[in-house]
C-alpha cells in the first residue's frame, strides 16, 4: 500500500473510532449491518440515490435494539467515507480487512466479516464508479406523496372551505441521506407548480 | 326606545372608509389602524360614544359576514333582517355594506385563509435546465437536467431553500403525480 493510501485510510479509520462509532456498531445486529453496508455500496455505485437511514433505523428499533437515528447516520457516513477511500486507493480485500482489524481493535468481529464479504463481492464496482462520481451540490428528487384536503372551518372563520394540497417530497441530500420535506399549496399555487413542471418537461425534451 | 343612530354624514364615503379601516385592523392585521385614527379621519364631528357604538356595530356585522363568507343571496337576506331589527341599520347603510363586501370579499377571505395556514407553504419556485457532463466509464455523456429551487417555510418565518435535481424521467414521474392531484381536484370541485 502506498504511503498516501495508508494515510488516507488511517484518516478514515480515525473517523471510525472517533466518538466511539465502533462501539455503536456493536449494537447493530449482523444482518442489519450487512444491509447498511450493501446500501452504502449501492449508493456509491449510483444504483440508488441514497441510504434510507430513517427506514433502516425504524426496523432496527422494532427488533428491540436501541439505536438513535443520529448514530446510525453517522455510522453510515463513516462507512461511506471508508469504502470510497478504499476504492480510491484500490485496496484489495485483504489489505482493507488487515488494516481495519489492526487499527480499530474495538470493531466487532461480525462487522469485520461483513465488511470483508461486502468489499470482496462489490468493492471493484465502486472503483469504476468513483470516476463517474459527480460532486452533487443539489439534492436528488426521489419520490412524492400528496394529499388533497379542504379546510372547512377555523376559529377566525366559520366558513373557510378552502381546498389545499399537501405534498411530501422524498429527497436524497448530497451526502446520501434521505429525508422528507412537506409543504402546502393552495389551488392556484398548485396550478402554477404543475405548469412549471410541464414547461420543464418540454424544455428537457427539446434540449 | 333607543336614541336614533346619527345619520351617515355626507353620503356613504365615511362609512365605506370605516368598513375598510375595520377590515384592515381585523383581517389584514394592520395594527396602525386604531379607533382614534378612524374617528379623527372619518367622523371628527361625532361624539366619541356614538362613534364607538357605530364602530362596534359595523365591526360585528362585518365579522359575521366574513366568518360565514356570505354569498350575495345570504348577504341580502342578512342585511335585510338587520334593517328590520330594533337598533339595526338603515337601508342606506345596508347598501354601503353590501357594496363593500362585494368588492372586498375575496381579499378578506384570503387573509382569513392565510391566518389558518400554519404549516410549511411553498413561497416561491424557480428552475433552470442544465446540461450535466458526466464521465462514465470513459464516455462523456451530456444529459439535460432541471435544477429546481423551492422556497419553503411557515408564514412569517424564515424559509428553507430546497435545491433539487430532476432528470427527464423524474420530471415525468412528478408530472404523473401532479396529474393525479389535478384529477382529484376536479372531482372535488364537482361535488362541492
Could you write out the DSSP letters of every residue in B105-126? HHHHHHHHHHHT--S-EEEEEE
DSSP tag of A63: T
- Contact residues on chain B for A156, CB-CB shorter than 8 A: 67, 112, 115-116
- What does the pLDDT read at residue A131? 43
Report the distance separating Cα A42 and Cα B136, nearest Å.
16
Q: For residue A204, what is its C-alpha cell?
A: 428537457
φ and ψ of B149, to 5 deg: -115, 125
For A76, residues 6+ apart whose C-beta sits below 8 A from its C-beta are A36, A40, A51, A53, A176, A177
Report the distance separating Cα A22 and Cα B16, nearest Å.
73
Give SS3 for A146. Answer: strand
pLDDT digits (tens, 9 = 90+) for A87-131: 877 888 888 888 787 767 777 888 889 999 999 888 877 755 544
Taking the CB of residue B56, how many other CB atoms lie within 10 A of it? 12
Q: Which domains does chain A have, with CATH numbers?
A: 3-133 (no CATH), 140-205 (3.10.450)
Report the distance separating Cα A100 and Cα A87, nearest Å.
14
How close, in Å, is residue B183 to chain A by CA atoms? 11
Interface test with B, best of A151, A171, A197, A205 (most B CBs within 10 A): A197
Spell out, as residue ranges, where chain A has pLDDT lower than 70.
1-21, 103, 127-137
- What does the pLDDT read at residue B26? 92
Given an 8 Å threshold on Cβ–Cβ distance, is A163 in contact with B67? no
- Within an 8 Å CB–CB cutoff, is residue B26 touching chain A? no
Report the distance separating Cα B72 and Cα B52, nearest Å.
28
- Contact residues on chain B for A202, CB-CB shorter than 8 A: none
For chain B, how many residues are written?
192
Spell out, as residue ranges, where chain B has pLDDT lower than 50.
8-9, 138
Given an 8 Å threshold on Cβ–Cβ distance, is A131 in contact with B171? no
Burial pattern B116-140, b for ≥16 Cβ within 10 A else e, equals ebeebbbbebebebeeeeeeeeeee
Closest residue by Cα to residue A10 from A89, A76, A77 = A89
Interface test with B, best of A140, A204, A205 (most B CBs within 10 A): A204
Q: B58 near B18, Cβ under 8 Å?
A: yes
What's the number of CA atoms in the CB half-sphere (13 Å) around residue B145? 20
DSSP tag of A107: S
- What does the pLDDT read at residue A14? 66
Closest-CA residue of A relative to B182 is A191
A139-151 vs B139-153, strand pairing mode: unpaired
Q: B174 near B168, Cβ under 8 Å?
A: no
Q: For residue A13, what is its C-alpha cell?
A: 479509520
Q: B8 near B93, Cβ under 8 Å?
A: yes
- What does the pLDDT read at residue B65? 97
Closest-CA residue of A relative to B173 is A143
Give SS3 for B9. Answer: coil
Report the distance separating Cα A170 and Cα A34, nearest Å.
24
> pTM for this structure?
0.62
- Within an 8 Å CB–CB cutoff, is residue B152 touching chain A? yes
pLDDT digits (tens, 9 = 90+) for A40-50: 888 887 777 77
Closest-CA residue of A relative to B118 is A184
Amino acid at each position: 500500500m502506498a504511503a498516501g493510501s495508508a494515510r488516507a485510510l488511517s484518516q478514515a479509520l480515525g473517523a471510525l473510532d472517533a466518538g466511539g462509532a465502533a462501539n455503536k456498531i456493536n449494537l447493530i445486529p449482523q444482518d442489519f449491518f450487512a444491509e447498511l453496508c450493501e446500501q452504502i455500496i449501492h449508493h456509491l455505485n449510483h444504483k440508488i440515490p441514497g441510504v434510507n437511514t430513517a427506514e433502516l433505523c425504524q426496523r432496527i428499533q422494532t427488533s428491540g435494539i436501541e439505536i438513535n437515528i443520529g448514530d446510525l447516520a453517522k455510522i453510515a457516513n463513516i462507512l461511506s467515507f471508508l469504502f470510497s477511500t478504499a476504492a480510491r486507493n484500490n485496496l484489495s480485500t485483504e489489505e482493507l480487512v488487515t488494516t481495519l482489524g489492526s487499527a480499530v481493535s474495538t470493531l466487532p468481529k461480525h462487522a469485520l466479516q461483513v465488511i470483508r464479504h461486502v468489499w470482496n463481492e462489490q468493492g471493484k464496482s465502486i472503483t469504476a464508479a468513483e470516476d463517474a462520481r459527480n460532486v452533487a451540490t443539489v439534492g436528488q428528487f426521489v419520490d412524492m406523496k400528496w394529499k388533497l384536503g379542504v379546510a372547512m372551518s377555523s376559529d377566525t372563520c366559520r366558513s373557510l372551505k378552502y381546498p389545499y394540497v399537501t405534498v411530501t417530497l422524498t429527497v436524497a441530500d448530497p451526502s446520501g441521506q434521505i429525508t422528507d420535506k412537506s409543504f402546502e399549496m393552495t389551488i392556484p399555487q398548485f396550478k402554477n407548480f404543475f405548469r412549471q413542471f410541464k414547461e420543464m418537461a418540454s424544455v428537457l425534451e427539446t434540449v | 326606545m333607543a336614541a336614533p343612530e346619527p345619520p351617515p354624514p355626507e353620503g356613504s364615503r365615511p362609512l365605506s372608509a370605516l368598513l375598510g379601516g375595520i377590515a384592515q385592523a381585523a383581517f389584514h392585521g394592520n395594527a396602525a389602524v386604531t379607533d382614534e385614527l378612524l374617528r379623527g379621519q372619518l367622523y371628527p364631528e361625532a361624539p366619541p360614544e356614538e362613534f364607538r357604538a357605530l364602530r362596534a356595530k359595523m365591526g360585528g356585522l362585518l365579522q359575521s359576514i366574513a366568518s360565514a363568507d356570505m354569498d350575495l343571496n345570504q348577504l341580502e337576506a342578512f342585511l335585510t333582517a338587520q334593517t328590520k331589527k330594533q337598533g339595526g341599520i338603515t337601508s342606506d347603510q345596508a347598501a354601503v355594506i353590501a357594496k363593500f363586501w362585494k368588492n372586498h370579499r375575496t381579499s378578506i377571505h384570503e387573509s382569513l385563509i392565510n391566518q389558518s395556514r400554519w404549516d410549511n407553504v411553498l413561497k416561491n419556485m424557480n428552475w433552470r435546465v442544465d446540461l450535466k457532463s458526466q464521465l462514465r466509464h470513459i464516455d462523456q455523456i451530456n444529459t439535460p437536467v432541471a435544477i429546481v429551487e423551492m422556497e419553503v417555510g411557515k408564514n412569517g418565518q424564515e424559509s428553507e431553500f430546497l435545491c433539487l435535481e430532476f432528470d427527464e424521467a423524474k420530471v415525468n414521474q412528478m408530472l404523473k403525480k401532479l396529474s393525479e392531484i389535478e384529477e382529484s381536484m376536479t372531482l372535488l370541485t364537482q361535488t362541492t
